[in-house]
Structure formats: C-alpha cells, structure tokens
Chains A and B, each alone.
Chain A
Amino acid sequence: MPDMVPMSVAQPQERQFNPYSDNGGTILAVAGANFSVIAGDTRQSEGYSIQTRYAPKVFRLTDKAVLAVNGFAADGNMFVKKVKQRLEWYRHAHSKDMPLRAVARLIQSMLYARRFFPYYVYNILGGIEEDGSGAVYSFDPVGSYEREACRAAGAASSLVQPFLDNQIYFKNQTPAPGTSHPAHLALTDVLALVIDSFTSATERHIEVGDGLEMYVVLAKGSPLQGLELVQGVQEMSTTTDGERVFIVRRNLKRD
C-alpha cells in the first residue's frame, strides 16, 4: 500500500495557556421607583467542582452604588478592586461620592480599555441616580452598557431573564379593562421575585446555589418600605441621612 500515511505524521501538538476560566453563578438586579435591588448567589465553581460555597459576587461601592460581577472570578475581583480605587480617587478629588451615571460611564471606559484582552466578566450596576430614582445599568465584557429596570446575567441568565420579563415588565400580560400595570413594583414584591428567581435557578442549574446575597439601596429620605420587617436585614451604609444600603442573606440548596 504505497499511499499509506504513517500515523506518526500528526499535526504538531501546540498548546497555548488559556488565561480564562468560568466560575459559574448568577447575578440579577431590579430597579424600583426609589430603590434598587442587586443580588447574586455565593457559589464559586469550576467545571463540576464547587470551589467554595461563599464567595461574594455583589459589592457595595458607595452608599448609592452596588456592583455585581459574574464570569471569571479572578477578573471580577480585580475589576472590582480597580473600580473601588478609582472611586476613592474621585472622593479625594471632589469630596463626594461619584454619581451613579458617572460610575456607569467609568465602568464602560475601564472595560473598553481592555478591549483586546477583556475582563471576562458581566457587570450589573445598581443604585440610586442623582434624581433619587432607582437605576440598574448592565454591561457586556467589553463595556457596551444600557440603563434598564431589570437584568439577569451569568450562568442561569437564560432561565431567569424571561421570568423577569414576565413578572417585572409584565410582558405578555394584558391588564384588566380600565386598569393598567403598575409602573414600579413595591420593594417587598421585588425581594420575593428575586428569591423565587434564585430558588428556580438553583433547582435547574448546577452552578447556582449555596447562598443568596441581596443588596437593597434606598433613595435619600426614603421610608424603609417594609424592609424593617425582612428577617436578618443588615445595614451597610456609612450614614443614615443619605442613600442607604442594606443586605439580606438567604440560604439556597447546596446540591
């Protein structure tokens, strides 16, 4: 058989170091009239292994801005570290916290600066705008961003987002004649939907579970809106006379 090719003439086995990994998890944020809820699960995984059951993905940046990061954990932590550093510099220069829309633009610039070696991270920024309205900004890994009322990102985003479309935006729902859908949901309703979203995602996605951290940002002078009745709520803000940040923790299934 003259045409036989010897097996040893295989392609050169060149391997390249892959600087990225996927650490699973899901994040989610919802904006209300005068509040914002930013949530994430606390599981960190790689492949089928759970690395830890408690690695926060949601971070308080200022009293009016909370950032959730999801994707490659090492990039996420580094990115949050650098955003916090830039916000500290801003505080030193201007003696005040950076406004939310400026934080959003800062994040886009920082992400786009790494256009050709991106932070492999989906960001969701939540908080209170200068006009006192609740706001959510969502970003892709290279900095495209948009202000929205709600957004899910991460491993179970495809499970959660259509549920949110239905329950927050009332998509495919027709109000009864003579009535209309509420423009904004109440804080307690939003918290219940967030918990439901994560229990559903935990049930059907292996990378979601262990714990849930929900940050609530309230506008300046806003009443607690039922937050005082939520069990285990903790205040994270530095003052009580400006915007206020709270955290609510819940357990999720660990399997």
Chain B
Amino acid sequence: MDHSPMNWGRPRNDAVDLYGTYPIPQRPYNGSKGSFSAGVQHTQQPIVTGTSVLAIKYKDGIMMAADNLASYGSLARFKDVQRLQAVGDYTVIGASGDMSDFQYIQTVLDELMVDEFTAADGHSLGPAEIHEYLSQIMYARRSKMNPLWNSLLVGGFKDGKRFLAYVDLLGTTYSASTLATGYGSYIAQPLLRKAVEGYEDVLTEEEALKIIEDSMKVLYYRDARSLNKYQVAKITAAGTSISESRSAETIWSFAEDIRGYGAQTQ
C-alpha cells in the first residue's frame, strides 16, 4: 500500500517501486501535464552546487569546514567560492546544494541582521534564533513547492553555550554533536562520530582541527565533486573566525599500481 498523501485516492501505479528505500522512495509523478504548466518556473533541480559541509562540537565551541568548489554538474566551474559565512557575531552557516539559492539566503540574513541592528534594543540574534529563522524560511518555501535547494549547517557560540544544527530544503531540522551534509553524511559522519561522540567537552582546538582535516582529506579522495582547497571556521567565546583557504597533504603514488586508476595504458 502506498501511504503517501500525495497519492491518496489515485490509481495504483505498478511501474514504480514504492518500497525502494534509497534515498527517498520513488513515487509516481502526479503533477500537471498541461502545456502551460511551465508558466511558473520553480527550482526543479540545483544547478551550480557545493558539496559536503562538516561540523563538530569541541571543548571551546564549534568547528566547521567546507571546500571552495562550486560545480556545474561534473564540471568544476568555480574554484574560489566561499561556502562558510559568518552571520552576526556568534554564528557561522555552511551551505551545500545550490549556490545561487545560498547567495539569496545570505542576502536575506544580511537584511535580517541589519534590521535587528537598527532596532538597537540591546538584543542580538544568536545561532539558535538564526537557525529557527532559516528553518522557517526553508519550510515555507518547500510548502510553496518552490524550495531553496540547500542543506545548511548552523554553528554558533553564545552565552557560554555551543550550538550546532542542520536544516535542509524540506525544512527538516536536527541537532547533534557531529553533523555533515551531502556525501559527507555517508563518508565523513561515521569518522566524525567515532572521534567526537563522548569527547565533546575534552577535545582541544588542535584535536578538533586534526579530525576535520582528516575527514576533509577522505572526502577529497572519495567525493568526485570535491576540491582540495577548503576553509575551516571556528566559533568560540572569542567570536567567529573563518580561515584562509588551505589544502590537505595527499598521496597519489599508489594510483600507478592500480590498473585503470593511474596512467598505464595497458
């Protein structure tokens, strides 16, 4: 039986596998088939995309990383894009998914911060408020069937408390001591959990950086849409800081020995 409300009352369609579990069960297409259905253009797919963002909690706050690549399909189109952005004094957001949608989100948040600053009421938005605001925008847009095609991480430190949470194009939110988007959630998240869970309050900045660097390296080795040029942000009691671009030391000599991987012709 297909329990999706999108398909209630509709005839059964045996052509699709409703029980496929990865990544989201496939569903029959019930949208408009009329000639004018393209009259209003909604984002149907991401175009210029950023890959994984990683973030962990550590003793002093939050550390987050994302590479500098914005891909156009399989083309490495823009190789100096910043996907980590400070919002106010206590928060950094990291974006994967559609980069134009991310830039729109940045302008919305900039406006918000200016409005809040102008109020001069002695209040300032912290990471929890920014995450809530973002999730409301993302959920509202998905409800209009016109999503902002991103997965975002929000990291922050305010009033002595760390904050780390996720929000995506569906408006789904969650919080954990390690978070990763995109391929990072398959490749890096297990590494991060093993290194961080249970040690959130003892990991030093150096140890946290080592964990992040190792994970970014593994992602560069295995994610074909990644770049060995990334930035690391940290958010602590001292405020936010986003590093200059850096790269991980990688070794490719092994490729020579693998048929089909290196330069051999035979």
A contacts B directly (C-beta below 8 A): yes
Cβ A74 vs Cβ B172 within 8 A:
yes
Residues of B near A53 (CB, < 8 A) are 176
Interface residue stretch chosen among A15-23, A98-106, A178-186, A222-230: A15-23
Residues of A near B143 (CB, < 8 A) are 19, 117
B139 partner, pick from A20, A21, A74, A117, beta carbons under 8 A: A74
Given known contacts A17-B145, A141-B5, is B24 in contact with A73 (CB within 8 Å)? no
B154 CB to closest chain A CB (Å) equals 14
Residues of A near B11 (CB, < 8 A) are none
How long is the Cα–Cα vector from A46 to B172 in the complex, in angstroms? 10
B237 within 8 A of A: no
How long is the Cα–Cα vector from A72 to B189 in the complex, in angstroms? 22
Residues of B near A20 (CB, < 8 A) are 4-6, 170
Residues of B near A54 (CB, < 8 A) are 175-176
Given known contacts A47-B24, A141-B5, is B170 in contact with A19 (CB within 8 Å)? yes
Number of A residues with CB within 8 Å of any CB on chain B: 30
A203 CB to closest chain B CB (Å) equals 19
A35 within 8 A of B: no
Given known contacts A18-B24, A77-B173, is B5 in contact with A142 (CB within 8 Å)? yes
Residues of A near B42 (CB, < 8 A) are 17
Residues of B near A77 (CB, < 8 A) are 173
Given known contacts A20-B5, A74-B139, is B31 in contact with A14 (CB within 8 Å)? yes
B29 within 8 A of A: yes
Contact with B along A46-82 (1 / 0, CB 8 A): 1111011111000000000000000011100110000
A132 within 8 A of B: no
Residues of B near A18 (CB, < 8 A) are 6, 24, 27
Residues of B near A118 (CB, < 8 A) are 5
Closest to B138 in A: A74
Given known contacts A17-B145, A47-B22, is B171 in contact with A74 (CB within 8 Å)? yes
How long is the Cα–Cα vector from A117 to B44 in the complex, in angstroms? 19
Q: Which chain B residues (10-63) contact chain A, with CB distance < 8 Å? A: 21-25, 27, 29-31, 42-45
Closest to A16 in B: B31
Cβ B166 vs Cβ A78 within 8 A:
no
Cβ A74 vs Cβ B173 within 8 A:
yes
B228 within 8 A of A: no
Cβ A120 vs Cβ B5 within 8 A:
yes
Closest to B185 in A: A49
B23 partner, pick from A46, A73, A117, beta carbons under 8 A: A46
B44 partner, pick from A17, A21, A72, A78, beta carbons under 8 A: A17
Residues of B near A72 (CB, < 8 A) are 170, 172
Cβ A120 vs Cβ B4 within 8 A:
yes
A51 partner, pick from B5, B30, B147, B174, beta carbons under 8 A: B174
B102 CB to closest chain A CB (Å) equals 18
A202 within 8 A of B: no
Contact with A along B147-173 (1 / 0, CB 8 A): 100000000000000000010001111
B104 within 8 A of A: no
Q: Given A14-B31, A16-B44, A118-B5, 8 more contacts at CB 8 Å? A: A16-B30, A19-B170, A22-B24, A44-B174, A46-B24, A51-B166, A74-B139, A78-B139
Q: Which residues of B contact A (CB under 8 A)?
A: 4-6, 21-25, 27, 29-31, 42-45, 139, 142-143, 145, 147, 166, 170-176, 185-186, 189
Q: When A and B form their complex, which 6 residue pairs have the shortest distance between CB atoms, in order from nearest?
A: A74-B171, A118-B5, A52-B174, A52-B176, A16-B31, A74-B172
Q: Which residues of A contact B (CB under 8 A)?
A: 14-23, 44, 46-49, 51-55, 72-74, 77-78, 117-118, 120, 141-142
**14 A-B residue pairs with CB within 8 Å:** A17-B142, A18-B24, A20-B5, A20-B170, A44-B174, A46-B24, A47-B21, A49-B189, A51-B176, A55-B174, A72-B172, A73-B174, A74-B142, A141-B5
